A and B are shown apart, each in its own frame.
Chain A
Amino acid sequence: MQDRVQEKLSILADAAKYDVSCSSSGSYRKNTDKGLGNSNGMGICHTYTQDGRCVSLLKILLTNHCIFDCAYCVSRRSNDVKRAAFTVQEVVDLTINFYKRNYIEGLFLSSGIFKNPDYTMERLVGIARKLRKEHQFNGYIHLKAIPGASDELIHEAGLYADRLSVNLEIPSEISLKQVAPEKDYPSAYKPMNLLAESIAGYQAEKKQIRSTPLFAPGGQSTQLVVGATPESDYQILHLASSLYQDQQLRRVYYSGYVPVSEDARLPALASPPLVRENRLYQADWLLRSYGFTVAELVDETHPHLDEEVDPKLGYALRHPEEFPIDIHTAPYELILRVPGIGVKSAKKIVLARRFGKLRREHLQKIGVVWKRARYFVLTADQDFRWLSLDPTVLKQRILYERTPQTYQLPLFAG
């Protein structure tokens, strides 16, 4: 019995790991006296994988049997892998017992499509229902909304889950058609739009009537695979920005394509495009928390983010006319645009400048990354305008400082 669950867990966790989302934040769900678990808005990463990703949830597939044949997916029909399927009770037991031991914040349940979308979605919803109703489980539940499942099932999923997600995976429909002939955009957008509408509806109602039940309080998210198909960063960020605006997504995840197949429809990569993935995440943050627009980061003439420098520095280098800014008088929104100054530092600067002039050491102690910020700010004692801020020179200087100096002895020789 135990061995069987061990084997299933190793197959179905392995198949689920390419879904990079593991967030447990943004949802508030109170516990009851007799219940188990809660979510208080702040996610908790209970451990980290050796590649540095957060492990917050028990992330598994219900089954890796799948009727689809998507080239980018390990569980595709034509791939020769071991197949397995959990029973409902097995998933419930694992979740409850891992949760009691404080291993996880909750469950992230996805699945290959077996028989048909409705049949699959019914099983996912059934597990969530059992956890919530029979076990008074109030921890975090993230469910996949299966494209093609009925509206009623998707809606019921929203009543139990904290977050729902539909993965678009491939960032344009043309490419999607090539690598996943059975899939299309409209069927992915349909549940997404339905959910967006319901989430907004329940939220509005909750403001009027406090007893309105929770409906996916953690919102929805999606994932885009980067580097498997030829889309540019410009296309990807435009798509992401429209998802944030139109579908009100909480997060778009970018997953550098890990070569999991030798399918001729996909490129043969030596390693996943991790730098590009990182730059996309940085750009994504700039869109969500720093007031940047997509057009400021990439456009048709520069369709790709610069891999050498982060997108904020890239923006500053392309717009020398906007800098330097005076740290004592500039509004918060402008300080936020300086490379090397994040949200926390910007807030501290605005508070601290009431008490007197800020000098270089103040900024450094506050947490500003001085080697990047210094060319773009005026402080009480520093003014780098004599450098005349030639963008190409600046970039060279900043990049040069980043490379380890040659006279340093290598720490780990050989």
Chain B
Amino acid sequence: MTYIYDGTFPGLLTVIFETYRLKQKATAIVSECDYQPGLFGSPLFVDAQPSYADRVITKLQHCCGQDIRRFLYHCYLSEQPRIEMLIYQFAVLAIESNDNILENFREPVIRQLHRIERQMHREVHRMHAFVRFQETNDGCYVALVSPDFNVLPLLGPHFQARYPALRWLIYDTTRHYGLYHESKDTRYVTLNATQHHILTDQMITSVEADYQALWQTYYKKVDIPERRNLKLHLQHVPTRYWKYLIEKQGK
């Protein structure tokens, strides 16, 4: 049976619930925005049901501990191909097993999920590191990012704790939405602008340009040429992140 869900995390959990309620195993789980009619025979459309989703989580927490909700949510946000099926297969394994299946590193599905979760974790950590705010004329600190995964929903707590008194915006230019913070309130925003219009030179303060230049000077000066090791450098700062790193711009 092919299941179509609304693309949300609770929606996916509802699908898992339905496979048990209807006793119909899933052969494919597709988000409705990716669904192409005719490709999968007659699929079943499933609407997200928060109460069903909660029951799935409760059961899985019983099998694998409290942290499982976070774990699966992070995997889901990775947007990896077939991630829905992996999570479904995981749920089946977890419910069948009488031990904490999450610790069974012999099982390929479990290893893949652990791998995805680790990649996700690393991407979040990289965003903590590579976000570069620029001060705009109206006093807002704006950063553009284009992470590999959809990590914006996971960045809030870190930057809230760090910059509670500032007004800031982190905007994902690939997924076209941003996280905006203003006095204790953090929310998602979408801008009607292409990425080139989000931050123009006219919007940036002159002080901002000075500090960018200072940062570039600093970056150049901490280098020890005798020790150069570009392979290691690229491992830590892959080139796909360079476009929004101030220290990699300019001369």
Contact indicator A13/B218 (Cβ below 8 Å): yes
Within 8 A of B (CB), among A1-45: 2, 5-6, 9-10, 13-14, 16-18, 30-38, 40, 42, 44-45
Q: Are B106 and A272 in contact (CB under 8 A)?
A: no
Within 8 A of A (CB), among B216-233: 217-233
Cβ–Cβ contact B162 & A52, under 8 A: no
Q: Say whether A98 contacts B217, CB under 8 Å.
A: no
Q: Write out the residue numbers on chain A whose beta carbons fall within 8 Å of the beta carbon of B106.
A: 352, 355-356, 358, 362
Task: Say if the beta carbon of A49 comes within 8 Å of chain B.
Answer: yes
A window 63-85: CB within 8 A of B: none
In the complex, what distance in Å separates the CA atom of A257 from the CA atom of B162? 37
**C-alpha spacing A302/B68, complex, angstroms:** 49
State the Cβ distance, A82 to closest chain B Cβ, in Å.
Answer: 12
Cβ of A39 to closest chain B Cβ, rounded Å: 10
Asked whether, in the complex, the Cβ of A36 is within 8 Å of the Cβ of B165, the reply is yes
Closest chain-B Cβ to A10's Cβ sits at a distance in Å of 5
Whole-angstrom distance between the alpha carbons of A30 and B160 in the complex?
12
The answer to whether B59 has its CB under 8 Å from any CB of chain A is: no
A50 proximity list for chain B (CB < 8 A): 223, 225, 228-230, 233
Q: Within the complex, which residue of B143, B161, B214, B233 is in contact with A31, where a contact is CB–CB below 8 Å?
A: B161
A47, B129: Cβ atoms under 8 Å?
A: yes
User: Does A271 touch B at the CB level, under 8 Å?
Assistant: yes
The stretch of A100-108, A126-134, A175-183, A306-314 that contacts the partner chain: A100-108
For window 84-106 of B, CB contacts with A under 8 Å fall at 99, 103-106
Q: Are A98 and B224 in contact (CB under 8 A)?
A: no
Chain B residues within 8 Å of A54, by CB: 236
Give min CB distance, A290 to chain B, whole Å. Answer: 21
One of B99, B130, B211 near A46 (C-beta < 8 A)? B130
Please name all residues of chain B whose beta carbon is closer than 8 Å to the beta carbon of A256 when the two chains form the complex: 227
What are 8 A-B pairs with beta-carbon distances under 8 A?
A: A33-B164, A33-B184, A36-B165, A46-B130, A51-B224, A101-B133, A101-B246, A356-B106
Closest 10 CB pairs of A and B: A52-B232, A51-B227, A352-B105, A351-B103, A13-B221, A48-B236, A355-B104, A14-B221, A52-B229, A101-B133
Q: Which residue numbers of A lie inside 8 Å of B, CB to CB?
A: 2, 5-6, 9-10, 13-14, 16-18, 30-38, 40, 42, 44-55, 58-59, 94, 97-98, 100-103, 256, 258-259, 271-272, 274, 348-349, 351-352, 354-356, 358, 362, 365-366
